[in-house]
Each structure stands twice: as structure tokens, then as C-alpha cells.
Chain A
């Protein structure tokens, strides 16, 4: 059958399950640490975590973050410490969701939700200002009318950071090295890099072709 065995390969596929997910109707589970829309976190007492240091803007490869820091008002401080993020803008027409900003942030102020289904229709909507990025009084992300939020997407906002922190060193795995968040408190550590989370394997598609022929 040598030369004709290729026909068998294509015919066999007809009886196998389809790999396509019919996206708008059926949604696959998102990865544990998906990079989505950002949020600016607050401490448990309601203070903003951002200190306006501009490290995120400096590290951003797409130059989509614009930050200006300012001194905290003495009688009504926005963040604990000397300075706070006075202007904070992310241009989502440019953002590539690499999450280098999250890595760079010294105070875990910027983290990401799992949301990726947001379809703004003009440039002004594409630039998220501090008003839209800072979490509300319950610690949840503010929802824009053009965003499609599904359950739990705003609960898991700092998984990536907690799985690798601090500095991504595996030796620190399981040790809490981060501050509490408004609405969530001090989050427990995520399972780390050294062992796979079992649920991941179920959500990923199976490519079970064995043997040569690729």
C-alpha cells in the first residue's frame, strides 16, 4: 500500500472528533495565567498601589503605557508613601499583552485579568485611563460597555505574579511575597512552575497522532 497509504490517513480523519471550537457559541476554558486586560490594584485599606515610578512605561516594548507621578497630597494621600500615579494610560491599540509591566512593577500595582474580548470602536475608547483601570471599592475591575466579561475573569487578576514571584525564582515557590489586595486580602500562592497544574491538561486540545508522517 506504500504509495496509497496517504489516502488512508485522510480518510481516517473523517471519523475523528473535530478540533474546532465554535468560538462565540462555545468558549474553551482560559489558561490559568492568561494575559488579558490590566487592572491597577489597591491595598486592603483602599489606597492605590501605584507609586508613579514609570518602570512599567520604561519596560513596555510597545510603548503603550503613559505614566506621570505626582507627590501625594498631605491631607488626603492616594497611595501610602511619597508619590502616586497621577496619570496612568494604556493604549490597547498598541498593547501586546506581554505582561512585562507586571514583572517590572515593584508594588504589584498593575496586574492582569483574563479578559480579552473587548472591542472598542474608536481611538478614545482604546486608551484606558486611570479611572477605568483602577479597581472599584470591591476590588473588582471596572466594566466598560464594550467588554464581554465572563464569570471569574475579574477574580484571578494576579495569578502570573504569584506563581513566579518574586523574580521568578523557583526556590521561593509557595512562599507569600506579596501584599494584600482590596477585596481579596492576601492571596495564597498559585501552583508554581515546577509541577504542572492537572486541570491544564484537560483544557488543552489533544494532538494524538503517533508515529512518523508529519
Chain B
């Protein structure tokens, strides 16, 4: 086990009760932060959408309606839970938890602050720094589909099943573009560890914003990541999984009470973790200017400022998701598939190939311009060949049996 987590200075010391306590504290705090932030995100989302529609939004429960989500949760908790007679009962009960678990695990590898001391141990402000963190991101976002799929399948009802089928197809399609977008950062960073990626983006001056943060060096993957992550989280305009007009409620039609609430918790939790991962990979995570006139080793600059910067970045990304939700209509299903398969994956592959060639060329001392033009030329040639090979609309294709 030690070789998996050895990078965190916490585990350089002998294993002791205080080390265990630090780990437990971090897990509990991460869990609480995630739950509270989901609560606040749902409230904030409703408020911002209300603003964009000239409404007021929730304003009854608590100051500015901030406790509205809590009130909704309490209501759902006390509602009757019904299970259809044709449902596969154990799977039906299991599905909500399968969808919420990956969302939480995903948040565990996100660094939300710098390196700090807790109980006399130096440690990173993240639950776990896994050496294969980027693979973990892909694995967990892939696991999320199980909750939705099993929920739809075990309901024993046709609309949930259709929603689940849509969901599986959509998530698998966008998984490819999502992975290639993450790869765009990994090529630049040369490490899979989320902490390592964040360290590479450390703030050394205003130039870091353009030079060290990966969003400009991986601009195209950043755009693809945002689109694919939106699709991965079933967020509008890609929320075909729960297209109310066509599928009643989608995969969660048969769910009631707290199980239904857990699905929604998972959905919004996913949005938050995806925003956090986008901030980590592309926007430097907790890195940002510290307050100059305070001590570099003081509480504010070590503890507070990194967390503030991380929060600001995540909030900005979350605002964009809400903005999308308020602005865009749902996509047609074939357009969704066309966007994923015909554009995002191709562009992502092209970017990965060219940037890999450039990185390798830099290590080998090749001429960057030559490398760029040759690799782009090869890529365009490949695409042209592919284009010729694909049958066009109305073209007769000889069947081979």
C-alpha cells in the first residue's frame, strides 16, 4: 500500500494514530465539503437561473432561501418509497448508491489547497494523491454510468430503460473525447498525479497565468474537456438521459423519496467534481498570487489563499454550467452523437498526435516548425484518406458476405 501513496509527506513518517487521525479528518471534511457545496450549488443554480429569467428564485427557507435544498431534502427523506412489482429489487435499491459513490471518490483526488501541517504532520490538502490520479478520473467517470444504467434496467419499466440506454450510449461516446482531452494535459505535464499537475502550475508571477497554467498550452483539450464533461455529467444541453418530454423522467422515473434525492445529489455532485477537476487540470487548481505584505509562511498565505483561489476557479466554472443550463435547449440525439463521434474525438486525436510530436521533438532537439508542419500534414492526409473511405450519403456500397 505504501508505494501507492508514498508521495504524500504524511506517510514518510512512521504509521501512528495521529497519521490515521489526519486521514480520517481529511475524509470527513471532504465528505462534508462536498455535501454542503452540493446544497449551496443547487441553491445558487436556482438563484442564477432565476436571475437570468427575471425571477427571484427560492427565497423562503432561511436567509435568501439558502436552506431551500435542505428543506427539499428533508421532504424527500420522509416521503414514501415505492418499488414497482416488476423491479429487480436488490439492484433497484443498490443503483442510487452506485451513482453517488464515484462522484465522491472523484473528489478525493482533487487538491483543494497547498501543503499544510495538521497535528504536526506535513500533508497535502487532498484526501489521496494517487500516482495514477488521471487514470482514476477516467475510471470513476466511467463507473458513474453503472448507477444510471442499473437504475433504468432494474426499474422494469420502459421509459427508465430507454433513458438508461441513451445514457450508456452517450457516456461511452463522450468518454473517448473526455479521455483524450485529459491526455492533452498529461502530455504537457508528464505526470499522472493530480498533485504533480498542480505543482507544475505553481504561481511564480503574473506570467504563470499564460505560461504555467495548462489552459493555454492545452487550449483545444480544455474546450473539449468542458464539452465532454458537460455531457458526462448529463448536464444541459446534453441531458437526454432525463428528457422529460420524451421519457417522462428518464432513468429515475420509478424512483421516489430519498433514492430519487440521491440520484440528484449524485448528478450535482458530479458537476461540482468535474468543475474541480477542470480547475485542477487546466486552471492551476489552488495556485494563484498570495498576499504580498503578509508572511509567506503565515496562516493566510499557506492555508487560506490556495483554498480561496481554488474556490474562485470552481465557482467560475460552475457559473458557466448554470449559464449553459439557462441558455441552451436540449440537443437532438443524433446531433449529440455526431458532435461526439465526428468532431470532438477527431479534433482531440489530432491535438494529441501533434502535441506529442512537439514534446518528443523538443526532447530530441528537432526543429519545432518542421515537426509541427510534418505531423499536421500526416494527420490531414490521414483524415483525407478516412474521408474518402467513408461512404457518402446516397453512395452505393458493395456488400461483402
In the assembled complex, B392 has its CB within 8 A of some CB on chain A: no
In the assembled complex, A80 has its CB within 8 A of some CB on chain B: no
Collect the chain A residues with CB atoms within 8 Å of residue B326's CB. Answer: 10
In the assembled complex, B51 has its CB within 8 A of some CB on chain A: yes
Q: How far is the CA of A22 from the CA of B51 in the complex (A)?
A: 15
B378 to chain A, nearest CB (A): 31
In the assembled complex, A150 has its CB within 8 A of some CB on chain B: no
- B102-142 contacts to A, CB under 8 A, are none
Collect the chain A residues with CB atoms within 8 Å of residue B370's CB. Answer: none
B277 to chain A, nearest CB (A): 23
Contact A20 B56 (CB under 8 A): yes
Contact of A14 among B51, B56, B328 (CB under 8 A): B51
Contact A18 B56 (CB under 8 A): yes
Contact B328 A13 (CB under 8 A): no
Contact of B323 among A7, A17, A19 (CB under 8 A): A7
In the assembled complex, B52 has its CB within 8 A of some CB on chain A: yes
In the assembled complex, B55 has its CB within 8 A of some CB on chain A: yes
Contact of A22 among B48, B56, B328 (CB under 8 A): B56
Contact A10 B55 (CB under 8 A): no
In the assembled complex, B81 has its CB within 8 A of some CB on chain A: no
Give 9 pairs: A residue, B residue, CB < 8 Å, sorted on A: A6-B328, A10-B52, A10-B326, A10-B327, A11-B52, A13-B51, A19-B54, A20-B56, A22-B59
Contact of A18 among B48, B55, B327, B328 (CB under 8 A): B55
A122 to chain B, nearest CB (A): 28
Q: How far is the CA of A6 from the CA of B326 in the complex (A)?
A: 10
Q: How many residues of A contact B (CB 8 A)?
A: 13
Q: How far is the CA of A29 from the CA of B327 in the complex (A)?
A: 33
Contact B52 A14 (CB under 8 A): yes
- B42-66 contacts to A, CB under 8 A, are 48, 51-56, 59
A4 to chain B, nearest CB (A): 9
A-B complex: 8 closest residue pairs judged by Cβ atoms: A10-B52, A14-B51, A10-B327, A20-B56, A19-B54, A10-B326, A13-B52, A7-B327
Collect the chain B residues with CB atoms within 8 Å of residue A22's CB. Answer: 56, 59
Interface centre among A6, A7, A10, A19 (most CB of B within 10 A): A10
A116 to chain B, nearest CB (A): 22
In the assembled complex, A9 has its CB within 8 A of some CB on chain B: yes
Q: How far is the CA of A14 from the CA of B47 in the complex (A)?
A: 10
A53 to chain B, nearest CB (A): 48
Contact A11 B54 (CB under 8 A): no
Q: Using CB atoms, name the residue of chain A closest to B320.
A: A7
- A1-37 contacts to B, CB under 8 A, are 6-7, 9-11, 13-14, 16-20, 22
Contact A11 B55 (CB under 8 A): no
A208 to chain B, nearest CB (A): 11
B43 to chain A, nearest CB (A): 16
Collect the chain A residues with CB atoms within 8 Å of residue B51's CB. Answer: 13-14
Q: How far is the CA of A170 from the CA of B52 in the complex (A)?
A: 44
Collect the chain B residues with CB atoms within 8 Å of residue A20's CB. Answer: 54-56
Collect the chain A residues with CB atoms within 8 Å of residue B323's CB. Answer: 7, 10-11
Contact A13 B327 (CB under 8 A): no
Collect the chain B residues with CB atoms within 8 Å of residue A10's CB. Answer: 52, 323, 326-327
Q: Using CB atoms, name the residue of chain B closest to A21.
A: B56
Collect the chain A residues with CB atoms within 8 Å of residue B52's CB. Answer: 10-11, 13-14
B278 to chain A, nearest CB (A): 18
Contact A13 B53 (CB under 8 A): yes
A145 to chain B, nearest CB (A): 26
Interface centre among A9, A11, A14, A19 (most CB of B within 10 A): A14
Q: How far is the CA of A19 from the CA of B53 in the complex (A)?
A: 9
Q: How far is the CA of A22 from the CA of B327 in the complex (A)?
A: 25
A18 to chain B, nearest CB (A): 5
Contact A16 B54 (CB under 8 A): yes
Q: How far is the CA of A6 from the CA of B327 in the complex (A)?
A: 6
Q: How far is the CA of A16 from the CA of B52 in the complex (A)?
A: 9
- A23-58 contacts to B, CB under 8 A, are none
Contact B54 A13 (CB under 8 A): yes
Chain B 314-331, CB-CB to A under 8 Å as 1, else 0, gives: 000000000100111000
Q: How far is the CA of A16 from the CA of B323 in the complex (A)?
A: 16
A87 to chain B, nearest CB (A): 44
Q: Using CB atoms, name the residue of chain B closest to A15.
A: B51
Collect the chain A residues with CB atoms within 8 Å of residue B328's CB. Answer: 6
Q: How far is the CA of A105 from the CA of B361 in the complex (A)?
A: 95
- B217-232 contacts to A, CB under 8 A, are none
Q: How far is the CA of A13 from the CA of B322 in the complex (A)?
A: 14
Collect the chain B residues with CB atoms within 8 Å of residue A11's CB. Answer: 52, 323
Chain A 112-143, CB-CB to B under 8 Å as 1, else 0, gives: 00000000000000000000000000000000
Q: How far is the CA of A18 from the CA of B48 in the complex (A)?
A: 12
Q: Using CB atoms, name the residue of chain B closest to A17.
A: B54
Q: How far is the CA of A18 from the CA of B52 in the complex (A)?
A: 10
Q: How far is the CA of A68 from the CA of B48 in the complex (A)?
A: 57
B185 to chain A, nearest CB (A): 25
B22 to chain A, nearest CB (A): 42
Collect the chain B residues with CB atoms within 8 Å of residue A7's CB. Answer: 323, 327
Collect the chain A residues with CB atoms within 8 Å of residue B48's CB. Answer: 14
Other A-B contacts than A7-B327, A10-B326, 8 sampled, CB-CB below 8 A, are: A6-B328, A10-B52, A10-B323, A11-B52, A17-B54, A18-B54, A18-B56, A19-B55
Collect the chain A residues with CB atoms within 8 Å of residue B327's CB. Answer: 6-7, 9-10
Collect the chain A residues with CB atoms within 8 Å of residue B53's CB. Answer: 13
